[in-house]
Structure 1
């Protein structure tokens, strides 16, 4: 009887020692993992690469068709998905600029690959390239990393001079007066002028007319004879308030409204000329 009890005690003691050893092993492993976390992370990051190499080692088996012709083939690596391509500077075209105070200075830029036209305020990021850091009548500059990208406005036609103040006779061949304040414009001529929106944006200079910190229309100057602004009868010195009842209270609206004229059958201009509110309507035929 004593022998049986002794044997049982020995077995129980051995089991207790095994349990203690397992607990001690877990405690030591936990402390080591807390002490050397970086080495464990390196091992975990290397594991997928090792697995890929292990998989590549079986490519010869697949190519030789070890398990019959039905299983013969090539092991093709999985191509990693590429992110969207960054916009190239050559993909951008400067359509026009509007220059005023810091918050009223803009550039109208076209991304050719997506046919996206967008107005950017000075300081804003131009698509995914970088911030717009400089806006002038002849061009803009975009900061891209440590370098600057320059975009120039469409080249002006040589020999053209700015329209003289108070004259709109150049529009006479394109627009004919049918009533006081009412005109008819040739549709083909208007469409042709708007087909090159970049050139149209350089047909006059628009400066925000600010009152009490708000934009109320745009002061027009440097109107080019034969351009879109001269065609619709806008003169140097006019203040353009609205087009088709859309108030021009920001450079974005001014540029976008000009673009939207293409395809219209009627144009209404509200402006101030010589200090007086004036309205012109144009039927496009």
Structure 2
């Protein structure tokens, strides 16, 4: 009976030792896993760099021509691709401005290298240069980092344009009336005026006519004699609603529609004059 008890005690002791050994191994494994991961990560991040450096180690083989003169050469590193070049301020041309409330103030700017014309409101990023921070009739300012870039409106007509021959009405209105509401415009004179769109944008001041929070045409003021607006009979106080049935309900449409007049053979203007809707049609000859 005593032998059985001794044997049972030995077996229980062995089982206890096995359990303790398993517990100890788990504790040691847990501590090791918390000690070495950072080292393993550092080694894994260094491996790509080591592999890149290995390429330069083969340069001597390439230069000496291990397999003959035909295989001689130099190891040329792969050049990293560069992103698109940033827009230079000298690449921008201010075509026109409109000054009103915050939402009614904008600038029409041309990027000459790509011939891209866009309308920017206050606060908009001008291409990749910076935000538009100031708009005046004579120019705009763009914030570029710690400095401000100024773009001036093209108010001077080039000598070539000024000397170019136009119709006999060049000194005055270039639209001759044929009947009430109908006019004829000399095509060469109209195209000459639109060739310098920057100058044309300074021939009058256009302010959005806001109604119920929406733009319904543009109020015209400061019309210059001999300019494109005076040419087609637009006077101070008119509200221009549409051109060729395209409603002028945004600065973008107003700018784009004015630019598209070149090459047209007929123009239709819908406007409000003295509080009454009025339509003018023009034949371009």
TM-score, normalised via structure 2 length = 0.80
Deviations 1:142-173, CA, capped at 9 Å, x for gaps: 12222221111113459xxxxxxxxx99653x
Q: Which residue of 1 aligns with 2:88?
A: 88
Secondary structure of the residue aligned to 2:100 is: coil
2:138, 2:246 → 1: CA distance?
28
Q: Does 1:255 align with 2:258?
A: no
Relative to structure 1, is the Cα distance of residues 132 and 56 closer, same or farther in structure 2, using a 3 angstrom cutoff?
Answer: same
Deviations 1:115-140, CA, capped at 9 Å, x for gaps: 10001111111111221111111111
**1:266 Cα deviation (Å)?**
0.9
Q: Which residue of 1 aligns with 2:55?
A: 55
Secondary structure of the residue aligned to 1:51 is: helix
Unaligned residue ranges in structure 2 (runs of 5+): 1-24, 159-168
Unaligned residue ranges in structure 1 (runs of 5+): 1-21, 159-167
Instruction: Map 1:69-218 onto structure 2 (within 5 A).
Output: 69-156=69-156, 171-172=172-173, 174-218=174-218
Query: Are the aligned partners of 1:171 and 1:233 in contact in 2 as well (CA < 8 Å)?
Result: no
Query: Are the aligned partners of 2:63 and 2:73 in contact in 1 as well (CA < 8 Å)?
Result: yes
1:40, 1:261 → 2: CA distance?
70
Determine which structure has more spread, i.e. the larger CA radius of gyration.
2
1:243, 1:105 → 2: CA distance?
21
Deviations 1:220-244, CA, capped at 9 Å, x for gaps: 1111122111111111221111111
Aligned with residue 34 of structure 2, among 9, 12, 31: 31
2:212, 2:228 → 1: CA distance?
30
Q: Does 1:68 align with 2:68?
A: yes
How many residues in Structure 1 have an aligned counterpart in Structure 2? 254
Q: Which residue of 2 aligns with 1:234?
A: 234
**1:252 Cα deviation (Å)?**
1.5
TM-score, normalised via structure 1 length = 0.80
Which runs of structure 1 show a deviation greater than 3 angstroms over 4 or more consecutive aligned residues? 22-30, 39-50, 168-172
1:65, 1:126 → 2: CA distance?
54
